[in-house]
């Protein structure tokens, strides 16, 4: 007796409640449909440009939509073929290469004595004003503003082109009401991107720059070090904290997916204050002592695991909500000697 067809299935470990090829056939059908839809749309737009008089410039810009469908469909078909044609060993090698960690300050020419301890040459080349070294901020916070600006510019440029065409149709006495009403949600989405971008810019201006300096780098277990934080801006602070955080990162495979997991294993509050104001031209400046416990794990980077140490400056501002800025640091084992300064060598030999 043939099994009943199932439109939904569950994955129980390595077993599934449906036949394994059903999902692949559905995925192939959807990807092929996207390719066909992209080809049809692209053909129709090219026909408009080539054979219709006074087609205008909007078909050229509208080609972004079918091209996106075509590229996505071809990529999905290629991935499906790769998973079913390529051998297991070859796919494993590709996954191994794709799951390498991004090592902040990593150098291909200079490495420490232990290969799994990340080098810090690119981190210690920035001298501080109050203390020896100024820490670089995590690049993730800067990419948020850049991504929002790029999305806002691309989306609103494309929407503006269609809005101009709709207005031209209304002025010529041939309004297309279906197209007009379809443009309303796109215009509202464009307005939302502009509002979000303006708020992000005002957020960065109001909170200002966060500068973190340390007395020496790298750190060592059991050592006591000095830190300095300078926070500029024009805000009323509800609370502000400086924390020393250690996190364990892991890359693992779940079925055919590659996933990342993060677990916080250590957190120490180095400084905390509530209810104060920051007004230019003066910045809020504080100094603190930083103690690394003697039994903690040092900074570590391997293929599937990493131990990441970070100084986190986080707080809550009136009107602007919460903010968090992260400054990566490195903790070396005591037997690793980093050629940075005489004080660091003395700490390593202690």
- Using 50, 70 and 90 to split pLDDT, how confident is the model at 256? low
User: 171 and 153, same structural domain?
Assistant: yes
* For residue 138, pLDDT beyond 60: yes
Torsion angle of alpha carbons 292, 293, 295, 300, nearest 10°?
Answer: -30
Q: How many domains does the chain have?
A: 3
Q: Considering the domain boundaries, does residue 103 fall inside one?
A: no
* For residue 312, pLDDT beyond 80: yes
User: 273 and 299, same structural domain?
Assistant: yes
User: 246 and 317, same structural domain?
Assistant: yes
User: 192 and 160, same structural domain?
Assistant: yes
User: 278 and 263, same structural domain?
Assistant: yes
Domain of 253, in residue numbers: 133-137+209-349
- Per-residue pLDDT at 230: 93
Q: Which residue has the higher pLDDT, 286 or 54?
A: 286
User: 302 and 322, same structural domain?
Assistant: yes
**Domain end (from 189, 206, 223):** 206
User: 184 and 56, same structural domain?
Assistant: no
* For residue 264, pLDDT beyond 70: yes
Give every CB contact of residue 168 below 8 A, 6+ residues apart in sequence: 56
CATH number at residue 216: 2.60.40.640
* Nearest by Cα to 313 from 183, 177, 208: 208
Q: Considering the domain boundaries, does residue 3 fall inside one?
A: no
User: 255 and 341, same structural domain?
Assistant: yes
Quote the CA–CA distance of 178 and 29 in Å, as a whole number.
30
User: 268 and 238, same structural domain?
Assistant: yes
User: 280 and 171, same structural domain?
Assistant: no
Q: What separation in angstroms does the CA of 209 have from each of 146, 197, 283?
A: 17, 18, 9
Dig out the tokens for 215 from the structure.
């007395």
- Per-residue pLDDT at 120: 74
Quote the CA–CA distance of 68 and 1 in Å, as a whole number.
44
Q: For the segment 184-229, what is each residue's pLDDT rounded down to a tens digit?
A: 888 888 899 999 888 888 887 788 889 999 998 889 998 899 999 9
- Using 50, 70 and 90 to split pLDDT, how confident is the model at 310? very high
């Amino acid at each position: 007796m043939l099994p009943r067809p199932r439109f939904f299935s569950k994955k129980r470990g390595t077993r599934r409640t449906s036949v394994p090829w059903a999902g692949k056939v559905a995925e192939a059908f959807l990807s092929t449909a996207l390719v066909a839809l992209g080809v049809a749309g692209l053909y129709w737009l090219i026909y408009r440009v080539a054979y219709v008089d006074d087609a205008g410039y909007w078909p050229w810009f509208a080609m972004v939509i079918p091209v996106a469908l075509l590229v996505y469909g071809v990529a999905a078909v290629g991935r499906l073929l790769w998973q079913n044609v390529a051998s297991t060993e070859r796919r494993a090698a590709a996954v191994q290469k794709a799951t390498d960690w991004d090592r902040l300050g990593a150098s291909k020419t200079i490495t420490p004595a232990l290969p799994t301890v990340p080098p810090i040459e690119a981190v210690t080349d920035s001298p501080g004003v109050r203390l020896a070294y100024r820490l670089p901020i995590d690049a993730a916070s800067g990419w948020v503003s850049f991504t929002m600006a790029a999305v806002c510019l691309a989306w609103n440029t494309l929407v503006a082109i269609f809005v101009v065409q709709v207005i031209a149709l209304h002025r010529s006495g041939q309004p297309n009401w279906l197209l007009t009403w379809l443009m309303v949600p796109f215009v509202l989405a464009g307005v939302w991107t502009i509002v979000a971008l303006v708020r992000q810019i005002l957020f960065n201006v109001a909170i200002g720059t966060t500068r973190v300096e340390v007395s020496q780098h790298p750190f060592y277990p059991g050592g006591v070090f000095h830190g300095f934080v300078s926070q500029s801006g024009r805000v009323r602070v509800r609370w502000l904290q400086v924390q020393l955080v250690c996190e364990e990162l892991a890359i693992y495979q779940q079925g055919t997916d590659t996933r990342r997991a993060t677990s916080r294993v250590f957190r120490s509050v180095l400084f905390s204050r509530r209810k104060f104001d920051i007004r230019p031209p003066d910045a809020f400046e504080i100094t603190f002592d930083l103690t690394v416990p003697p039994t903690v794990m040092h900074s570590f980077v391997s293929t599937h695991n990493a131990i990441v140490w970070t100084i986190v400056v986080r707080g809550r501002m009136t009107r602007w909500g919460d903010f968090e800025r992260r400054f990566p640091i490195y903790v070396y084992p005591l037997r690793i000697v980093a050629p940075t300064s005489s004080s660091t060598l003395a700490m390593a030999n202690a």
